[in-house]
Structure 1
Amino acid sequence: MSAGTVNYAQTRSFLIDTTKCTGCRGCQVACKQWNQLKAEKTTFFSGEGYQNPPQMSEYTFTRVKFKDYEKHGQNEFAFYKEMCMHCNEPACASVCPVGAFHKTPEGPVVYDSKKCIGCRFCMVACPFGVPKYEWSKAFPLVKKCTGCYSRVKAGLEPACATACPTAITYGSRDEMLKEASRRIAAKPERYYKTIYGKEEAGGTGVLYLTQQPLDELGFKKITKRPLPSYTWQALRLVPGIFLTVGGTLSAISWFQHRKDRIRKEEEGMQEKDK
């Protein structure tokens, strides 16, 4: 990724207003439909909350989190959509040794499965725990929200933003930041005076407005410093021979099985067409 080629102020970004989210989970359904993701067996109560599925996975790129809290002696629910944050300077891209991830000029952080060697550094580096591995497959790939990049390139909004009736606004990052600030100024009694994602991890392509303090809703406290500066410091502590040998072995294994993986996928598609 070449940071100099991306104008972050003009990248397309999400503004998610949790005070307007009704928990309908229309965004989850739209994401499943557009990305043709399989259904998965889930448990309604995960111990963390009432969200279902209980966590993101290779089959779930986004989910609405349910957070219960007490207000004026009454039990209330707060909802917010969890997804890839599409960071301005994504840690996943900074640690990938083969450039399988990159930040697009349009905004989404995308993944090229043809380059991936299965090292899973991206999963370790992401502070939001977004990339997921296809543990169910013999020759797995990494899966995550794409920001509906194909739709965005065609001038459309992401599927989740199109489906949401109230909470998701989509536009340039600069416009979304201005809109978030406008809402806080217009109704200070309604909003917690912080825009999550404005500076976290150096800035992200997903911005949140909340009514409650962020820690009460379970938002992770993330450094404001761009994460690639940390990841490269960490990688410098790893012996070069380990990275070289590990990467070489992963690449050899990947290329040895690549034909088998492609063949199995083609056979699967042929079976579906019958």
Structure 2
Amino acid sequence: CVGCRYCVVACPFGIPKYQYDSPTGKIGKCELCRHRYQDGHYSACAEVCPTGATLYGRTSDLLAEAKRRLALKPGSLTTYPRGNLSGGPDQSYEAYVGNYKQHVYGETEYGGTQVLKLSAVDFEKVGMPYLSPKSSASTSETIQHTLYGGLLMPFAVLGAMTYVAKRNVSRAGEAPPEAPGGEGR
């Protein structure tokens, strides 16, 4: 982190926060308890969640679990994993399947997010904003590649500026052009 605060502007969820009250401000955001990794632990929220509503693991594993849950028949009995999907002790439990909306929030929104959510009610009702499938970073990249591809735009602008500058400067030894209307006083 160099303190540019692009992540604060880009995050549609408002998660990263910049500490403006500090002269050496830092970005504060969830790092999934990175400091616990060296002791063999993972994010504390997923480790202590009693229902498996918060899970930890690779995005591919989390997406597979979300799709498995969506494919289940509401009201049937199933086994739910808890904790770390990418390894660790089996903490799974049995419970009845809820009636989920048939959508994994975060799979395609904003080009795909690192957080995936399931819900039995509309995502807007639980505070999740509508996000287009294309991220603003992707849009910005497309615009920049179009403008600066092959350096055509910078050369065109530089050429136009050079033309205007040369047109407005008289050459050494030449008389300045006469004012319109003919003779002076």
Distance 1:172 1:204 in 2: 12
Q: What secondary structure is seen at the aligned counterpart in 2 of 1:207?
A: coil
Please tell me the residue identity of whatever aligns with 2:115: V
Distance 1:178 1:195 in 2: 10
Distance 1:177 1:120 in 2: 29
Are positions 1:202 and 2:108 aligned together? no
Out of 137-146 and 226-235, give the one that drifted further.
Answer: 226-235
Cross-structure match for 1:121: 6
**What is the deviation of 1:205?**
1.8
Cross-structure match for 1:213: 122
2:23 to 138, 145, 159: 138
Distance 1:187 1:210 in 2: 15
Cross-structure match for 2:140: 231
**What is the deviation of 1:151?**
3.1
**What is the deviation of 1:165?**
1.2
Please tell me the residue identity of whatever aligns with 1:208: K
Structure-2 change in CA distance of 1:154 and 1:235 (3 Å): farther
* TM-score after normalising by structure 2: 0.56
Structure-2 change in CA distance of 1:234 and 1:123 (3 Å): farther
Structure 1 gap segments, 5+ residues each: 1-99, 101-115, 241-274
Structure-2 change in CA distance of 1:160 and 1:173 (3 Å): same
Structure 2 gap segments, 5+ residues each: 75-97, 148-153, 155-185
Structure-2 change in CA distance of 1:119 and 1:183 (3 Å): closer
Q: Higher strand share goes to which structure?
A: 1
Verify the 8 A CA contact 2:109 2:133 in the aligned structure 1.
Answer: yes
- How many pairs are equivalent? 123
1:158 to 38, 43, 54: 43
Q: What secondary structure is seen at the aligned counterpart in 1 of 2:140?
A: helix
Distance 1:165 1:126 in 2: 29
Cross-structure match for 2:80: none
Cross-structure match for 1:180: 66
* TM-score after normalising by structure 1: 0.40
Relative contact order: is structure 1 or structure 2 higher (C-alpha 8 Å, sep ≥ 6)?
A: 1
Structure-2 change in CA distance of 1:196 and 1:152 (3 Å): farther
Q: What secondary structure is seen at the aligned counterpart in 1 of 2:57?
A: strand
Distance 2:111 2:102 in 1: 19
**What is the deviation of 1:154?**
5.6
Structure-2 change in CA distance of 1:226 and 1:155 (3 Å): farther
Verify the 8 A CA contact 2:34 2:42 in the aligned structure 1.
Answer: no
Cross-structure match for 1:149: 34
Please tell me the residue identity of whatever aligns with 2:61: E
> What's the CA shift string for 1:173-210, capped at 9, x where partnerless?
22221211121221346111111111112212211110
Please tell me the residue identity of whatever aligns with 1:144: K
Q: What secondary structure is seen at the aligned counterpart in 2 of 1:225?
A: coil
Question: What does residue range 4-153 of structure 1 map to in structure 2 within 5 Å?
Answer: 100=1, 116=2, 118-152=3-37
> What's the CA shift string for 1:110-168, capped at 9, x where partnerless?
xxxxxx1x442321122222211112323311111112234346642211111211121
Verify the 8 A CA contact 1:180 1:209 in the aligned structure 2.
Answer: yes
Distance 2:123 2:141 in 1: 29
> What's the CA shift string for 1:32-56, capped at 9, x where partnerless?
xxxxxxxxxxxxxxxxxxxxxxxxx
Distance 1:223 1:153 in 2: 37
Distance 2:109 2:125 in 1: 17
Structure-2 change in CA distance of 1:208 and 1:153 (3 Å): farther
Cross-structure match for 1:168: 54
